[in-house]
């Protein structure tokens, strides 16, 4: 402990001099005590000197600094794998015995170290769990989280009890080294391969279109099953759609089969892929897998109608064809074979033009309420364009043009762009626009404005609006093909351009939902370990969102069993977390009573099972050896786990750490100094009073 002054040390002498002068001035010639004066004056002067000196020193704001040393025990992490794969190697008796040993180890470690306990599988959680119900295992995620939490603390070692089987995340070998502490592994499970037939993987698209064919790829593996045969079947609703034989001729067998199926029924379809069992299999749980395919009854048909061939058309076609929900066709004015009424969305490139006014097409778009997108080019007839729509009016001359860059309008609200695109769009090459005056209708929304050189003109470049119930957009320039090429040159992909054009088409092509009550699931396809969340919205006559009346929900499974719920209110909407459901296809119906009017809304969702833990049944102790050896630890087996305490001591890295903390405090805040001053002044006053000076 030491005392630090805020002023030079020689100020102490000044404080002492002030105290001395004060005392000297009071008592040097004081003779009021008579015969006691010579004896009392030195004592009283000393008391006054000390008092005044201390007060003056306190005015210098001295600080007391002390170093406090704190000893903290090292941190030891003990973690338990809680995934389903451990159930394959431990019966109820073994699980009970193992739990008792694990709890004993926990107590011994807690007595000596700052013990932190975790369980891991699909997620990492605090506390030791022995339910073994996690549907997947991510060892790397556990090690990564330990690094994030303890990398800056006195972490002595990590102990993880697992079978080494991981089926999610990265390879844990590359993550463990980041911790820079010994990693000990308690090796669980059985490393002896048992006779097993495994349906390893089934690859399929989640979407198919009605009337099309789609392919599924099936990976089949067999361990210790030579000389046997199995049958691969694919069925739907109990009806067999495919059946083929597989002869197993090796103890370590693997094959891939491709199966082509017809998408002949619309909606979410469940297909069951199964392998017939062979005699002596350790488990048949990994012989069956369900897959779900959403068969759409129609694609959205898009027509690219142009005055003449143009690179813009090619750029849009490539973007649209990348989306399986769209079917695109290209046609040129004057050579249209089909009626545009059969299309769901039309792009009008450089139309109407002087050569091709396409009056019939424009009338059809209006009467059939088909959303469309005008792209202005050098061949566009501006007068006819202004007559065909009023979202953007262009008064100019096409024989004079400007090169303009697009600037994102921050007030645009119709849809949200990816932040990368929003930050990047100003870098796109300029488009060629007519020289003239651009105006938009008051209720139109402007996505992009024009920038010429360094000047933000404020003129609209891309605007959207609704006319007589039809959504349409106007792009006041041509050359968007340059945007797509630039995107690829800069980022080696077309993602940003495709997102921009795709969002425009998606927004324009989406029909407005005018229902006053809506209900929708957060996803069409859930895993069985995910919670089902369903939201609902209710609108009043002014189309304002409200949630005053109660709203109910009923979920129905494939067997017809109903599960009733009541929505919770959140903000001005409704939401419900229905928890987790077993695999299957479910329908739901929401209902509310708004001022006597019964409103209903419904939908469907699918829950798919997670079978990752049954695909691999042989423990991977080799992986545990690699992790532990690489990080200075060792592998032990459950019967020797109590030796871990001694093994950690031998490594010598789990040591307590001393933390020095410097604490400072101003002396003027010390209460004992106040009482010292009070004592000095009281003693002086008492002596003066006692000997008759007052």
Query: And the tokens for 555?
Result: 């979920």
Strand boundaries in 136-190, DSSP class E: 155-162, 183-187
Least confident stretch, 63-67, 161-165, 609-613: 609-613
Name which of 607, 615, 583 is nearest 219 in CA terms: 615
**DSSP H stretches of helix in 337-399:** 359-367, 382-388
**Inter-residue contact 464 to 444 (CB < 8 Å):** yes
pLDDT tens string 463-480 = 999 998 889 999 999 999
352 preceded by a cis bond (ω within 30 of 0):
yes
C-alpha dist (Å) from residue 7 to 13, 53, 502, 668: 12, 15, 71, 15
What was the pLDDT predicted at 431? 94
Dist. CA 364–CA 341, nearest whole Å: 7
In the predicted model, is pLDDT for residue 625 greater than 90? yes
Q: Residues 661, 666, 667, 672: is their CA dihedral positive or negative?
A: negative
Query: How far apart are the two ends of the chain, measured CA to CA in Å?
Result: 42
Distance CA 251, CA 686 (A): 106
330 in Cβ contact with 317 (< 8 Å): yes
- Lowest mean pLDDT, pick from 79-88, 119-128, 202-211: 202-211
Instruction: For residues 445-456, give the mean pLDDT.
Output: 92
pLDDT (tens digit, 9 = 90+) per residue, 302-360? 999 999 999 999 999 999 988 777 889 999 987 877 788 889 999 999 999 999 999 99
- Residue-range domains of the chain with CATH: 2-68+664-690 (no CATH), 74-192+618-651 (3.40.50.410), 196-296 (2.60.40.10), 300-509 (3.40.50.880), 517-608 (2.60.40.1930)
**The two three-digit tokens of residue 154, written as one number:** 């006195």
Provide the pLDDT for residue 102.
93
Question: Is 365 in contact with 344 (CB distance < 8 Å)?
Answer: no
* Helix extents (H) in 298-380: 311-321, 359-367
Average pLDDT estimate for 229-236: 94
Q: How far apart are CA 527 and CA 607, in angstroms?
A: 5
Percent of the chain with pLDDT over 90: 44
pLDDT of residue 39: 79
In this prediction, residues 398-418 reach a mean pLDDT of 86
Label residue 115 by pLDDT band (50, 70, 90).
Answer: very high
pLDDT at 618: 82
Q: Which residues, 6+ apart, have CB-to-CB distance to 39 below 8 Å?
A: none
The band of 380, judged by pLDDT with boundaries at 50, 70 and 90, is: very high
Which pLDDT does position 306 carry in this prediction?
A: 94
d(CA 61, CA 668): 7
Summarize the confidence of residues 650-675 as an average pLDDT. 78
At 694 the pLDDT is: 55
Distance CA 356, CA 334 (A): 7
Distance of CA 18 to the CA centre of its chain: 69
- Give pLDDT tens digits for 274-292: 999 998 888 888 888 888 8
Mean of the per-residue pLDDT values of the chain = 88
Question: Cα(557)–Cα(585) distance, rounded to whole angstroms?
Answer: 6
Distance CA 425, CA 491 (A): 13
Instruction: Report the alpha-carbon distance of residue 368 to residue 361 in Å, rounded.
Output: 10
Average pLDDT over residues 397-411: 87
* Helix, coil or strand: residue 477: coil
Whether residue 433 contacts residue 450, with contact meaning beta carbons closer than 8 Å, is answered with: yes
Kindly report, residue by residue over 490-511, the tens digit of the pLDDT: 888 888 898 889 889 888 887 6
Q: Can you give 210-232 as a three-state secondary structure string?
A: CCCEEEEEEEEEEECCCCEEEEE
pLDDT of residue 86: 87
Over range 679-688, report the average pLDDT.
86
Beta bridge partners of 296: 209
**Measured distance CA(521)–CA(535) in Å, rounded:** 6
Task: Report, in angstroms and rounded to the nearest whole number, the Rg of the chain calculated over CA atoms.
Answer: 40
pLDDT of residue 693: 57
Helix (H, G, I), strand (E, B) or coil at 47: helix
Distance of CA 422 to the CA centre of its chain: 20
Q: Give the H/E segment covering residue 288.
A: strand 288-296
Give Cβ neighbours of residue 269 (< 8 Å, ≥ 6 apart).
236, 292, 293, 294, 295
Region 649-669: mean pLDDT is 76
- DSSP H helices in 33-183: 37-59, 92-112, 139-150, 173-176
The C-alpha atoms of residue 613 and residue 121 are separated, in whole angstroms, by: 10
Q: Which of 667, 533, 671, 500 is nearest to 603 (CA)?
A: 533
Of residues 32 and 628, the one with the higher pLDDT is 628
Cβ-count burial 637-648 (b if 16+ within 10 Å, e if not): ebeebeebbebb
- For 628: left if phi > 0, alpha if psi spans -120 to 50, otherwise beta; the answer is alpha
Confidence bin at 514 (pLDDT 50/70/90) = low
Q: Report strand pairing: 326-332 vs 300-306.
A: parallel
């Amino acid at each position: 402990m030491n005392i630090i002054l805020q002023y030079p040390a020689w100020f102490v002498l000044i404080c002492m001099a002030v105290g001395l002068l004060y005392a000297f001035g009071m008592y040097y010639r004081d003779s009021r005590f008579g015969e006691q004066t010579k004896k009392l004056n030195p004592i009283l002067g000393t008391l006054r000197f000390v008092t005044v000196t201390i007060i003056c020193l306190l005015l210098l704001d001295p600080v007391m600094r002390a170093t406090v040393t704190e000893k903290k025990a090292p941190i030891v992490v003990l973690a338990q794998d809680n995934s389903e794969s451990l159930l394959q190697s431990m019966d109820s008796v073994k699980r009970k015995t193992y739990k008792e040993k694990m709890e004993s180890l926990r107590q011994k470690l807690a007595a000596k170290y700052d013990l932190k306990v975790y369980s891991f599988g699909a997620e990492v959680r605090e506390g030791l769990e022995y339910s073994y119900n996690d549907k997947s295992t991510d060892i790397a995620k556990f090690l990564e989280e330990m690094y994030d939490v303890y990398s800056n603390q006195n972490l002595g070692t990590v102990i993880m009890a697992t079978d080494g089987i991981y089926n999610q995340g990265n390879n844990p070998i590359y993550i463990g080294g980041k911790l820079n502490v010994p990693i000990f592994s308690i090796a669980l499970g059985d490393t002896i391969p048992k006779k097993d037939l495994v349906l390893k993987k089934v690859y399929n698209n989640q979407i198919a279109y009605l009337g099309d064919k789609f392919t599924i790829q099936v990976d089949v593996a067999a361990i210790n099953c030579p000389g046997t045969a199995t049958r691969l079947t694919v069925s739907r609703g109990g009806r067999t759609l495919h059946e083929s034989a597989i002869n197993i001729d090796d103890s370590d067998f693997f094959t891939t089969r491709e199966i082509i199926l017809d998408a002949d029924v619309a909606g979410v379809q469940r297909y069951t892929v199964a392998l017939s069992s062979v005699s002596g299999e350790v488990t048949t749980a990994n012989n069956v897998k369900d897959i779900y395919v959403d068969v759409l009854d129609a694609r959205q048909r898009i027509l690219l109608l142009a005055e003449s061939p143009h690179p813009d058309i090619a750029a849009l076609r490539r973007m649209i064809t990348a989306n399986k929900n769209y079917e695109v066709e290209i046609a040129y004015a004057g050579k249209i074979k089909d009626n545009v009424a059969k299309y769901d969305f039309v792009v009008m490139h450089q139309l109407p033009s002087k050569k091709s006014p396409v009056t019939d097409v424009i009338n059809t778009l209006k009467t059939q309420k088909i959303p469309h997108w005008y792209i202005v080019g050098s061949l566009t007839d501006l007068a006819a364009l202004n007559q065909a729509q009023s979202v953007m009016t262009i008064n100019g001359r096409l024989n004079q043009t400007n090169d303009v860059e697009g600037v994102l309008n921050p007030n645009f609200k119709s849809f949200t762009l990816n932040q990368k695109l929003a930050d990047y769009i100003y870098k796109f090459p300029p488009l060629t626009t007519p020289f003239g005056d651009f105006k938009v209708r008051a209720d139109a929304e402007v996505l992009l404005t024009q920038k010429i050189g360094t000047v933000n003109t404020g003129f609209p470049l891309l605007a959207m609006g609704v006319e007589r119930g039809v959504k349409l957009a106007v792009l006041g320039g041509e050359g968007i093909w340059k945007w797509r090429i630039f995107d690829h040159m800069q980022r080696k992909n077309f993602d940003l351009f495709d997102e921009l054009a795709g969002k425009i088409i998606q927004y324009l092509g989406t029909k407005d939902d005018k229902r006053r009550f809506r209900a929708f699931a957060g996803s069409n396809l859930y895993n069985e370990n995910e919670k089902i969340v369903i939201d609902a919205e209710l609108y009043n006559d002014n189309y304002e969102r409200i949630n005053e009346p109660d709203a109910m929900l009923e979920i129905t499974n494939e067997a017809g069993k109903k599960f009733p719920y009541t929505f919770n209110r959140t903000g001005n909407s409704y939401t419900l977390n229905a928890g987790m459901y077993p695999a299957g296809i479910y329908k739901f119906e929401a209902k509310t009573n708004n001022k006597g009017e019964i409103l209903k809304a419904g939908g469907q969702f699918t829950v798919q099972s997670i079978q990752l833990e049954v695909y691999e049944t042989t423990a991977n102790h080799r992986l545990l050896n690699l992790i532990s050896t690489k990080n200075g630890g060792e592998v032990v087996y459950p019967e020797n786990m109590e030796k871990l305490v001694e093994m950690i001591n031998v490594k010598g890295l789990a040591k307590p750490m001393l933390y020095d903390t410097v604490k400072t405090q101003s002396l003027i805040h010390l209460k004992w100094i106040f009482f010292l001053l009070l004592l000095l002044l009281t003693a002086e006053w008492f002596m003066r009073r006692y000997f008759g000076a007052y």
